[in-house]
Chain A
Amino acid sequence: MQLDQLYQEIILDHYKHPHGRGLRDAVDPDARVGEAHHVNPTCGDEITVRVTTDGKVFTDISYDGMGCSISQASASVLHELLRGRAADDASVVHEAFVELMSGRGQVTPDEEVLGDGVAFAGVARYPARVKCALLSWMAFKDAAARAGVGVSPTEVKA
């Protein structure tokens, strides 16, 4: 059934049991913190992503928001994949996820890079839902930039 490709077990699991949910303050008072609030105007989904970094590594990625299973599970996967990673490293994962979601189902994801993120391959076949999956990832990119750490190759990296 088509629907199973969209609502993979991994996605439903992240949705029902989100990892790292809830906005957290930085433990280290010297840490740089960036935050971004993104809204999907077509459906009203919202997410706030907060990034804590020492300038090299994302020591924490916390988030809060409301939205559909795809957007909420995607934020959970983002937290799990990118927290504790160096900016360069995170940038590779971020790029791979955006490429997967923009691929209209034609991109074969690399599990080595994307981990649970590969479960979103099916979402890319539903153009109406791609924005849901990307909401937290775009908010993360803005939050990282505000913390002074670029995660896109087009931006200056710390």
Chain B
Amino acid sequence: MTTIAIPEGMPQYDDVPRFDVAAVRADFPILDREVNGHRLVYLDSANTAHKPRQVLDVLAEHYAMHNANVSRSVHTLGTEATEAYEGARAKVAAFINAPSVDEVVFTKNSTEAINIVAYAFSNASLRPDADPRFRLGPGDEVVISEMEHHSNIVPWQLLCERTGATLRWFPVTEQGRLDESGLDGLVTERTKIVSLVHTSNILGTVNATSRITQRVREVGALLLLDCSQSVPHMPMDVVDYDADFIVFTGHKMCGPTGVGVLWGRGELLAAMPPVFGGGSMIETVSMARSTFAAPPARFEAGTPPIAEAVALGAAVDYLSGVGMRAIQWHEKELTAYALDALATVPGLRIFGPNVPVGRGGTISFALGDIHPHDVGQVLDSLGVQVRVGHHCAKPVCSRFGVPAMTRASFYLYTTTEEIDALVAGLEQVRKVFD
């Protein structure tokens, strides 16, 4: 075996943080089950991640011992529930290095978080006294990319329809990278917000955002990063990224479904009009009019997903315990392994970056002209769970001229043996359809 010597003074291979994958897997009860008579090989974590016992226990414990509504009770249970809910907010804030706990808004998911920002623009556009940064009209522009999940396309299309603003987008290169060549012409003084995916849910591309951020600052626009596929997989520092908003969802990061996060700069959240009206988001209400609470409460109308948020806090603890740098590195190694392994499959075409640089552990591909539904069905019969279809990113499929793709995605509990099982399964697929 040959080894490449890393020059002295550079970070050495052994410096990379590591964890015991077998020990991590033992925390996830579902990984013990069988599917269609085979050991479960779960390669669909970009869709939703599994939950460790540490999260499931907290969820059950909350309902069993601390169940009460939050922010409105003087009794003991209500106080415990409120402390747990607000404690989870503090954990999430620390996890993304938010300057203030009050910048973390709990939502239902990333989709709702993006819609809250889009509707805040919409509502501000109807009010002449609203902050001009959120007021949109004809001549104003919203910029997204061709690489977005539908959740970061449709809310902006609808917003532009309501306000008369124009939607524009970054194209995607043949290699599956964001095409920034037209940046200065695309992001201009007319741009009010750039809403961009950080890690593509279909191509796996991790977008380098610094040039775009710089341009956004030059023209005085706002920047939202959809971090649904990055917060679960790498260290996130909202100060370092210099974003105005980020969104992500609990269930993709070992937390439960039903809870997501909108992080926004405190001063921006404070300038945003409310979106949902109801309990908990008010300051005072009379029959004629109401005034509103400060963020984050302003954007959390009604009873929030309390137990889910508390369990998300437990997921944050779990991931922090393993270490986000270690998880990122584990996935990088898996990705390098998988790209090499998939390259050995005849007729397989990878969509997106085919080097393990500037990409995460989500790999979409075509196997000859075999339809992804058929690929997924045969793999399922072998216990291998992949996602097939358009992955809620139809424009990406159109960009690459296919109606659908097959996608394998990895997480901290994924092993190289599972990637071997995928490759072996693809041979089986070829046997059935060739």
- Which residues of A are interface residues toward B (Cβ below 8 A)? 1-3, 6-7, 12, 42-46, 66-70, 72, 126, 129, 132
Residues in A neighbouring B374, C-beta threshold 8 A = 7, 68-70
* Contact assessment for B371 and A68 in the assembled complex, using a CB-CB cutoff below 8 Å: yes
Chain A min CB distance to B356 (Å): 28
Chain B min CB distance to A139 (Å): 16
Contact string, B382-404, partner A, CB cutoff 8 A, digits 1/0? 00000011100010010000011
Of B373, B378, B381, which one neighbours A43 at CB under 8 angstroms?
A: B373
Task: Give complex CA distance A129, B372 in Å.
Answer: 12
A-B pairs with beta carbons under 8 Å apart, 15 shown? A2-B381, A3-B377, A3-B378, A7-B432, A12-B433, A43-B389, A43-B390, A44-B397, A45-B371, A45-B403, A67-B371, A67-B373, A68-B374, A69-B373, A69-B433
Residues in A neighbouring B390, C-beta threshold 8 A = 43-44
- Is B36 close to A, CB under 8 A? yes
Task: Give complex CA distance A91, B273 in Å.
Answer: 56
* Contact assessment for A129 and B403 in the assembled complex, using a CB-CB cutoff below 8 Å: no
Residues in A neighbouring B371, C-beta threshold 8 A = 45, 67-69, 72
Given known A-B contacts A43-B390, A129-B373, A132-B373, A66 and B403 have beta carbons under 8 A apart: yes
Chain A min CB distance to B184 (Å): 34
Chain B min CB distance to A27 (Å): 31
Chain B min CB distance to A45 (Å): 7
Chain B min CB distance to A2 (Å): 6
Task: Give complex CA distance A126, B374 in Å.
Answer: 12
Residues in A neighbouring B388, C-beta threshold 8 A = 43
For chain B, the count of residues having a C-beta within 8 Å of the partner chain is 17
Task: Give complex CA distance A79, B13 in Å.
Answer: 61
Task: Give complex CA distance A46, B371 in Å.
Answer: 12
Residues in B neighbouring A68, C-beta threshold 8 A = 371-374
Residues in A neighbouring B373, C-beta threshold 8 A = 43, 45, 67-70, 129, 132
Task: Give complex CA distance A3, B36 in Å.
Answer: 10
Centre residue among B373, B389, B397, B433 by max chain A CB count within 10 A: B373
Query: Using a CB-CB cutoff of 8 Å, which residues 396-434 of chain B contact chain A?
Result: 397, 403-404, 432-433
Which residue of chain B has its CB nearest to the CB of A132?
Answer: B373
Residues in A neighbouring B397, C-beta threshold 8 A = 44
Residues in A neighbouring B394, C-beta threshold 8 A = 44
Task: Give complex CA distance A6, B372 in Å.
Answer: 15
Contact string, B135-161, partner A, CB cutoff 8 A, digits 1/0? 000000000000000000000000000
Chain A min CB distance to B17 (Å): 39
Query: Using a CB-CB cutoff of 8 Å, which residues 325-384 of chain B contact chain A?
Result: 371-374, 377-378, 381
* Contact assessment for B404 and A44 in the assembled complex, using a CB-CB cutoff below 8 Å: yes
Task: Give complex CA distance A43, B378 in Å.
Answer: 16
Chain B min CB distance to A125 (Å): 12
Task: Give complex CA distance A156, B126 in Å.
Answer: 50
Of B381, B403, B432, which one neighbours A67 at CB under 8 angstroms?
A: B403
Task: Give complex CA distance A111, B36 in Å.
Answer: 29
Of B36, B377, B403, B433, which one neighbours A44 at CB under 8 angstroms?
A: B403
Chain A min CB distance to B151 (Å): 15
Which residue of chain B has its CB nearest to the CB of A39?
Answer: B403
Residues in A neighbouring B372, C-beta threshold 8 A = 43, 68
Residues in B neighbouring A12, C-beta threshold 8 A = 432-433
Q: Nearest 5 A-B pairs (CB), nearest first?
A: A68-B373, A68-B371, A3-B381, A44-B403, A44-B390
Task: Give complex CA distance A84, B55 in Å.
Answer: 61
Task: Give complex CA distance A158, B389 in Å.
Answer: 39
Which residue of chain B has its CB nearest to the CB of A43?
Answer: B389
Chain A min CB distance to B364 (Å): 13
Which residue of chain A has its CB nearest to the CB of B434?
Answer: A16
Which residue of chain A has its CB nearest to the CB of B388?
Answer: A43
Residues in B neighbouring A2, C-beta threshold 8 A = 36, 381
Which residue of chain B has its CB nearest to the CB of A66?
Answer: B403
Residues in B neighbouring A45, C-beta threshold 8 A = 371, 373, 403-404
* Contact assessment for A6 and B403 in the assembled complex, using a CB-CB cutoff below 8 Å: no
Which residue of chain A has its CB nearest to the CB of B369?
Answer: A66
Chain B min CB distance to A149 (Å): 30
Which residue of chain A has its CB nearest to the CB of B404?
Answer: A44
Residues in B neighbouring A1, C-beta threshold 8 A = 381
Chain A min CB distance to B180 (Å): 28
Task: Give complex CA distance A2, B377 in Å.
Answer: 11
Residues in B neighbouring A66, C-beta threshold 8 A = 403
Chain B min CB distance to A109 (Å): 21
Task: Give complex CA distance A42, B373 in Å.
Answer: 11
Residues in A neighbouring B378, C-beta threshold 8 A = 3, 7
Residues in B neighbouring A42, C-beta threshold 8 A = 389
New A-B pairs, 6, CB < 8 Å, besides A7-B377, A66-B403: A2-B381, A7-B374, A12-B433, A43-B372, A45-B403, A67-B373
